[in-house]
């Protein structure tokens, strides 16, 4: 019975919408020729341009992510230096900050009016366009945003590096540089590759950066092309955009399959044992270099954003004389901004709670009472997180735009459609850690309780739930924080009265009010930091290790 | 007894939609301005709660079409840049007539013959320039097309902005401009952004020297301290009237009429002026620093042709400046 309800739930929020998307993409053309829509769309010049932009810019950005992420991970992982924890947190910053805010802060940093570069005399001469509104800009900012994915992967590999191996090499009098290239790098390579492919998936599905840099720069990517087509022409182009979404999905899926294969093929089995602990203190020049990189990628853009939010009007250069809190006063007096904060908080809190409540029984059944149907559901539930967000949003529109059967109401244009999209997309964020915890847990207790005649709800609530509570909490927090600032889903699904913070930043910028957009961004980043702190405090020291930024 | 009861229930069910006091407005006016508009409207009508969807005119229209396809739009009132989009909706029988609307004092030429939509303000399109970058401001559209100026020019795209659609549509109807003018601009290096917002951003930030822009955005930014100024070109300016209309499918016709009445009334007109718009009716002065509206040369548009050529204009423009 419980299994049936869960299957129905996953069916409605995931299988049906994604199935609609597939059907729409495969429908026949106006004249009834099979796969007509797909053939027309694939033949269109706009499609191939967006496809090649997405592919090449994602690849370049992955190059940047990999080089930067690997270098930083090696530096932080192999050398001892003061303030290492702070450094790690700052390196992870670009991933924690939502992409539209990251793009906005880079625009402020690199523009002719840059509050940071201008006083230093480094800003571009006025009259030149912002260099970031270009292919180069998109690849650079995406590369920086996804760098932490590679960093995390390589860092984890270095943690597992056996100390005996390094010691043996040292005793054999192999010079340090050769130990790095011949011993350590080969062991870290599979992880770097896995991180790089993850960064590729993220880049392909990124919406915030192409939207803020690529739309003004006229560099269409697949995600922004879907957004622009849908906004400019309405649902009459559903078939076309569904095909574009399918291409996106294939790109992301290819990278993930490759990642799985790479992980299997390239993994070098090493003996477990004492893991390598850095003993060498990093030389001063190396420390200075690392801090310079962190300053550039994590601190300067945010500083530019904050300073811009104190400027009274766009185009005015920042100085202490003109600095004021006017923008904050104005955005806080704007009910739409307040509503956006309320909506985002409410939607992401609801999504977190519901996802945890659904993931608990699902993980329980998958681990303790597995059946082919449940195993399939467990797998299907991953899909909306794996495919790009734009694809999920589009699937939701296709599924929930027509009025619902029986009640005859369309969910399109309500907050419910955003919530459903969040539920589908973010479920794996809690389901994955929960299934892992459940699999690691002891099945005997459950068995004993069952023999003692305790019902399913009793076992779920009193035995299973407490045993996996830390993972559930951490997963819930992760959903809350991810959903709070997302733009990709709500950009396509928002409607009057149901704005989200991400949409607010995007539309203020689009209206020509980037100073207000900067103020809202600063406020939402503050909110994010406050949530981080609350999560740390609420979870306590040990459990907080499960939080994403502790990686 | 049962009959009376049933009847009264039926009647109250009929009356319910009329009592619904939530008004949903779809508009292309900037968010912050609409906030002030709604606050002022609520002073007079505290019982009506207003919800808002704001985007460029083209996107508002796309959203409406999407919702019509989904079985109905929650929108009650539409307040968008141009009369041509309204005429299109009128042709699709999506608008509700309101012959009793208080239109005294408004130039009869601006009114719809069937009282389906009503002008609320005059918005003109002219030239904005960055005062840090430009020493000798242009005085005419012809100046803007000169190579040095055009290379530094950005304009809004009709694919996004209703005012831009009317601007391009009107200009190409004129003998002295035509498509030749836009071809010359493109050849000399002018580019198109998206909406008017992107033009203001680019010019105020000094990424471009000149822009084609609606006057209130430029004048408001100037008043706030942005390094921009605005020119009403000597050949004339193109005009949109930001019409307001009630959708035929509204579930709150009373509230919608109250909003239209209020928009056409003195209080809203005064607020428009304070927000940097030319007033529509006689008896109000233009905002400070603006020329007398009577002294402006308006470039006349053939509205029937604007409607008929709407798609062609967008297509031609997209061919010249890219989608």
Write the secondary structure of A142-183 as one string of H (helix), E (strand) and C (coil). Answer: HHHHHHHHHHHHHHHHHHCCEHHHHHHHHHCCCCHHHHHHHH
Alpha carbon distance A469, A488 (integer Å): 30
Q: What is the pLDDT of residue A190?
A: 86
Are A131 and A217 a contacting pair, CB within 8 Å? Answer: no
The predicted-structure confidence for B200-257, as pLDDT tens digits, reads as follows 988 998 888 999 999 999 999 999 889 999 999 999 999 998 999 999 999 899 999 9
**For A504, nearest residue in chain B (alpha carbons):** B31
The average pLDDT across B134-151 equals 92
The tally of domains found in chain A comes to: 2
Residue B16 to chain A, least CA–CA distance (Å): 18
Q: What is the pLDDT of residue B321?
A: 83
Whether residues A413 and A533 fall in one domain: yes
Q: Which of A233, A314, A334 shows the shortest C-beta gap to B205?
A: A314
ipTM above 0.85, yes or no: no
Q: Which of B130, B207, B224 shows the shortest C-beta gap to A130?
A: B207
CB contact under 8 A, B208 and A127: yes
CB contact under 8 A, B66 and A401: yes
Residue B6 to chain A, least CA–CA distance (Å): 24
Are B281 and B270 a contacting pair, CB within 8 Å? Answer: no
pLDDT band with cut points at 50, 70 and 90 for residue B19: very low
> Across-strand partners of B25?
B52, B77
CB contact under 8 A, A234 and B51: no
Half-sphere CA count of A27, side-chain side, radius 13 A: 15
- Going A61 to A64 to A70 to A72, the CA torsion angle's sign is negative
Q: Which residues of B touch A235 (CB under 8 A)?
A: 65-66, 69-70
pLDDT band with cut points at 50, 70 and 90 for residue B105: confident
At residue B10, does pLDDT exceed 50? no
pLDDT band with cut points at 50, 70 and 90 for residue A36: confident
Q: Which residue has the tokens 């995931």?
A: A14
**Per-residue b or e along A153-188, where b marks 16 or more CB atoms closer than 10 Å to that residue's CB:** bbbbbbeebbeebbeebeeeeeeeeebbeebbeebb
> Lowest-pLDDT range, A95-99, B98-102, B151-155?
A95-99
In a domain, A314, yes or no: no
Identify the residue among B57, B62, B88, B320 best suited for mutation to test binding to A, counting A beta carbons within 10 A and taking the highest.
Answer: B62
Residue B229 to chain A, least CA–CA distance (Å): 12
pLDDT band with cut points at 50, 70 and 90 for residue B18: very low
Domain end call among A276, A309, A342 = A309
Residue A304 to chain B, least CA–CA distance (Å): 14
Q: Provide the chain B residues 179-198 that lie in CB contact (below 8 A) with chain A.
A: 193-198
Q: What is the pLDDT of residue A550?
A: 57
At residue B12, does pLDDT exceed 60? no
Q: What is the pLDDT of residue A145?
A: 95
Whether residues A237 and A370 fall in one domain: no
- 3-class SS string, A424-445: HHHHHHHHHHHHHHHHHCCHHH
CATH number at residue A290: 1.10.3720.10
Q: How much of chain A, in percent, has pLDDT values that exceed 90?
A: 37
Q: Is A442 exposed, middle or buried (0-12, 13-18, 19+ CB in 10 A)?
A: exposed
Q: What is the pLDDT of residue A213?
A: 92
Whether residues A293 and A339 fall in one domain: no
The average pLDDT across A272-300 equals 85
Whether residues A262 and A335 fall in one domain: no
* CA-based R_g, chain A, Å: 25
- List domains and CATH numbers for chain B: 13-121+242-286 (3.40.190.10), 123-239+296-321 (3.40.190.10)
Q: What is the pLDDT of residue A138?
A: 96
pLDDT band with cut points at 50, 70 and 90 for residue B11: very low
Domain end call among A275, A309, A343 = A309
Identify the residue among A114, A230, A315, A503 best suited for mutation to test binding to B, counting B beta carbons within 10 A and taking the highest.
Answer: A315
Q: Does any CB of chain A come closer than 8 Å to the CB of residue B211?
A: no
Q: Is B305 exposed, middle or buried (0-12, 13-18, 19+ CB in 10 A)?
A: middle
Locate A134 and state its tokens: 């270009």
Q: Which of A46, A232, A410 shows the shortest C-beta gap to B70?
A: A410
- H/E stretch holding B31 reads helix B31-44
Domain end call among A253, A277, A309 = A309
Q: What is the DSSP string of A11-28?
A: IIIIIHHHHHHHHHHH--
At residue A33, does pLDDT exceed 80? no
The predicted-structure confidence for A471-496, as pLDDT tens digits, reads as follows 888 889 889 988 998 999 999 888 77
> Lowest-pLDDT range, A140-154, A276-290, B122-136, B172-186?
A276-290
Whether residues A184 and A94 fall in one domain: yes
Q: Does any CB of chain A come closer than 8 Å to the CB of residue B235?
A: no
Whether residues A413 and A435 fall in one domain: yes
Are A493 and B53 a contacting pair, CB within 8 Å? Answer: no
Domain range enclosing A532: 322-551
Whether residues A69 and A195 fall in one domain: yes
Residue A190 vs residues A179, A200, A254, A262: alpha-carbon distances, Å: 17, 15, 17, 7
In a domain, A412, yes or no: yes
| DSSP letter assigned to residue A80 | B
Q: What is the pLDDT of residue A95?
A: 85
**For B63, nearest residue in chain A (alpha carbons):** A234
In a domain, A16, yes or no: no
Residue B292 to chain A, least CA–CA distance (Å): 27
Q: What is the pLDDT of residue B16?
A: 40
Q: Which of A216, A314, A496 shows the shortest C-beta gap to B226?
A: A314
In a domain, A408, yes or no: yes
In a domain, A19, yes or no: no
Closest CA to A67 of A172, A199, A258: A199
Alpha helices in A79-134 (DSSP H): 84-96, 99-110
CB contact under 8 A, B194 and A216: yes
Whether residues A298 and A343 fall in one domain: no
Q: Which residues of B touch A321 (CB under 8 A)?
A: none
Q: Which of B26, B204, B209 shows the shortest C-beta gap to A127?
A: B209
Task: For Cα atoms B130, B131, B132, give the angle at the middle one, nearest 5 degrees.
Answer: 95
Alpha carbon distance B98, B114 (integer Å): 8
Cβ-based contacts under 8 A for chains A and B = 154
Q: How many helices (H) and strands (E) does chain B have?
A: 13, 12
Higher confidence at residue B314 or residue B200? Answer: B200
The two beta strands, B123-130 and B210-214, are: antiparallel
The predicted-structure confidence for A232-246, as pLDDT tens digits, reads as follows 666 677 888 899 999
The average pLDDT across A368-395 equals 88
At residue B98, does pLDDT exceed 90? yes
CB contact under 8 A, B71 and A410: yes
Whether residues A279 and A404 fall in one domain: no
Are B251 and B263 a contacting pair, CB within 8 Å? Answer: no
CB contact under 8 A, A496 and B217: no
Q: Does any CB of chain A come closer than 8 Å to the CB of residue B249?
A: no
Are A211 and A99 a contacting pair, CB within 8 Å? Answer: no
Alpha carbon distance A426, A422 (integer Å): 6
CB contact under 8 A, A507 and B55: yes
Q: Provide the chain B residues 79-108 that lie in CB contact (below 8 A) with chain A.
A: none
CB contact under 8 A, A412 and B204: no
The predicted-structure confidence for A442-452, as pLDDT tens digits, reads as follows 888 888 888 88
**For B194, nearest residue in chain A (alpha carbons):** A216
Identify the residue among A512, A513, A519 best suited for mutation to test binding to B, counting B beta carbons within 10 A and taking the highest.
Answer: A512
Count CB neighbours of A331 within 10 A.
Answer: 26
Q: Does any CB of chain A come closer than 8 Å to the CB of residue B200?
A: yes
Whether residues A238 and A357 fall in one domain: no
CB contact under 8 A, B207 and A232: no
The average pLDDT across A130-140 equals 92
The predicted-structure confidence for A333-378, as pLDDT tens digits, reads as follows 888 899 999 999 999 999 999 999 999 999 998 888 878 888 888 8
pLDDT band with cut points at 50, 70 and 90 for residue A30: low
CB contact under 8 A, B200 and A512: yes
Q: What is the pLDDT of residue A541?
A: 66
In a domain, A540, yes or no: yes
Q: Does any CB of chain A come closer than 8 Å to the CB of residue B323?
A: yes
The predicted-structure confidence for A62-77, as pLDDT tens digits, reads as follows 999 999 999 999 988 8
Alpha carbon distance A360, A431 (integer Å): 8
Higher confidence at residue A114 or residue A221? Answer: A221
Q: Which residues of A touch B26 (CB under 8 A)?
A: 496
Higher confidence at residue A348 or residue B111? Answer: A348
Residue B66 to chain A, least CA–CA distance (Å): 5
Higher confidence at residue B269 or residue B56? Answer: B269
Whether residues A412 and A515 fall in one domain: yes
Alpha carbon distance A185, A294 (integer Å): 23
In a domain, A366, yes or no: yes
Q: Does any CB of chain A come closer than 8 Å to the CB of residue B269?
A: no
Identify the residue among A118, A331, A500, A511 best suited for mutation to test binding to B, counting B beta carbons within 10 A and taking the highest.
Answer: A511
Q: What is the pLDDT of residue A64?
A: 97
At residue A279, does pLDDT exceed 90? no
Whether residues A344 and A467 fall in one domain: yes
Three-class secondary structure of residue A325 per DSSP? coil
In a domain, A264, yes or no: yes
């Amino acid at each position: 019975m419980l299994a049936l309800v869960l299957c129905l739930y996953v069916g409605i929020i995931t299988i049906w919408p994604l199935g609609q998307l597939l059907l729409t993409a495969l429908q026949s053309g106006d004249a009834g020729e099979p796969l007509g829509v797909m053939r027309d769309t694939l033949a269109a010049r706009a499609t191939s341009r967006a496809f090649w932009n997405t592919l090449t810019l994602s690849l370049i950005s992955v190059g940047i992510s990999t080089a930067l992420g690997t270098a930083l991970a090696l530096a932080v992982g192999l050398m001892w230096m003061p303030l290492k924890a702070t450094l790690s947190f700052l390196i992870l910053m670009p991933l924690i900050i939502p992409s539209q805010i990251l793009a906005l802060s880079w625009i402020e940093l690199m523009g002719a009016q840059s509050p940071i570069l201008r006083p230093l005399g480094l800003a571009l001469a006025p009259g030149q366009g912002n260099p970031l509104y270009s292919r180069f800009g998109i690849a650079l900012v995406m590369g920086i945003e996804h760098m932490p994915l590679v960093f995390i992967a390589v860092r984890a590999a270095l943690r597992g590096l056996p100390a005996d191996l390094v010691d043996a090499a040292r005793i054999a009098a192999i010079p340090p540089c050769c130990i790095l290239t011949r011993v350590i790098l080969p062991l870290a390579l599979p992880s770097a590759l896995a991180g790089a492919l993850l960064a590729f998936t993220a880049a392909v599905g990124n919406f915030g950066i192409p939207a803020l840099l690529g739309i003004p720069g006229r560099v269409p990517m697949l995600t922004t092309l879907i957004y622009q087509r849908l906004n400019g022409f309405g649902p009459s182009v559903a078939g076309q955009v569904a095909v574009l979404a399918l291409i996106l999905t294939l790109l992301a899926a290819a990278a993930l399959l490759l990642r799985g294969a790479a992980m299997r093929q390239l993994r070098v089995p090493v003996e477990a044992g004492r893991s390598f602990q850095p003993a060498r203190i990093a030389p001063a020049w190396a420390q200075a270099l690392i801090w310079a990189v962190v300053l550039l990628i994590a601190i300067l853009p945010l500083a530019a954003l904050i300073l811009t939010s104190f400027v009274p009007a766009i185009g005015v250069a920042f100085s202490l004389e003109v600095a004021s809190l006017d923008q904050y006063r104005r955005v806080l007096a704007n009910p739409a901004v307040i509503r956006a904060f309320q909506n985002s908080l409410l939607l992401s809190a609801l999504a977190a709670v519901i996802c945890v409540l659904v993931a608990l029984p699902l993980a329980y059944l998958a681990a303790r009472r597995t059946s082919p149907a449940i195993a399939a559901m467990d797998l299907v539930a991953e899909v909306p997180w794996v495919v790009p967000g734009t694809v999920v949003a589009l699937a939701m529109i296709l599924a929930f735009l027509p009025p619902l059967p029986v009640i005859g109401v369309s969910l399109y244009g309500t907050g419910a459609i955003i919530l459903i999209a969040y539920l589908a997309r973010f479920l794996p964020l809690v389901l994955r850690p929960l299934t892992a915890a459940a699999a690691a847990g002891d099945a005997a207790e459950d068995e004993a309780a069952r023999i003692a005649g305790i019902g399913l709800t009793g076992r779920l609530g009193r035995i299973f739930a407490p045993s996996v509570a830390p993972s559930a909490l951490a997963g819930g927090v992760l959903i809350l924080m991810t959903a709070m600032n997302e733009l990709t889903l709500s950009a396509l699904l928002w409607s009057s009265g149901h704005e989200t913070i991400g949409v607010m930043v995007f539309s203020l910028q689009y209206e020509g009010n980037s100073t207000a957009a900067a103020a809202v961004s600063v406020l939402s980043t503050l909110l994010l930091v406050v949530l981080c702190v609350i999560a740390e405090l609420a979870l306590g020291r040990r459990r907080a290790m499960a939080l994403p930024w502790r990686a | 007894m049962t009959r009376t009861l049933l009847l009264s229930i039926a009647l109250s069910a009929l009356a319910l939609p009329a009592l619904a006091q939530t008004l949903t407005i779809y508009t292309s006016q900037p968010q912050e301005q609409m906030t002030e508009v709604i606050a002022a409207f609520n002073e007079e009508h505290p019982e009506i709660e207003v919800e808002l969807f704001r985007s460029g005119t083209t996107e508002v229209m796309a959203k409406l079409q999407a919702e019509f396809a989904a079985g109905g739009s929650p929108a009650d009132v539409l307040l968008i840049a141009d009369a041509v989009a309204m005429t299109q909706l009128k042709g699709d029988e999506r608008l509700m007539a309101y012959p009793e609307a208080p239109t005294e004092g408004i130039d009869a030429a601006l009114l719809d013959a069937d009282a389906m939509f009503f002008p609320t303000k005059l918005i003109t399109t002219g030239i904005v320039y960055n005062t840090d970058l430009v020493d000798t401001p242009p005085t005419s559209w012809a100046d803007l097309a000169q190579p040095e100026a055009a290379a530094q020019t950005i304009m809004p795209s009709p694919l996004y902005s209703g005012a831009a659609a009317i601007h391009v549509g009107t200009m190409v109807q004129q003998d002295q401009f035509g498509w030749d003018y836009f071809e010359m601009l493109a050849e000399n290096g002018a580019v198109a952004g998206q909406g008017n917002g992107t033009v203001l951003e680019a010019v105020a930030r000094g990424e471009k020297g000149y822009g084609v822009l609606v006057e209130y955005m430029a004048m408001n930014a100037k008043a706030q301290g942005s390094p921009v100024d605005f020119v009403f070109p000597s050949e004339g300016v193109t005009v949109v009237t930001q019409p307001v209309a009630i959708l035929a499918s509204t579930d709150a016709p009373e509230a919608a009429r109250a909003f239209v009445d209020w928009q056409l009334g003195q209080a809203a007109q005064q607020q428009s002026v304070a927000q940097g718009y030319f007033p529509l009716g006689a008896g109000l002065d233009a905002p400070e620093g603006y020329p007398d509206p009577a002294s402006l040369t308006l470039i006349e548009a053939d509205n029937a042709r604007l409607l008929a050529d709407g798609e062609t204009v967008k297509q031609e423009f997209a061919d010249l400046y890219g989608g």
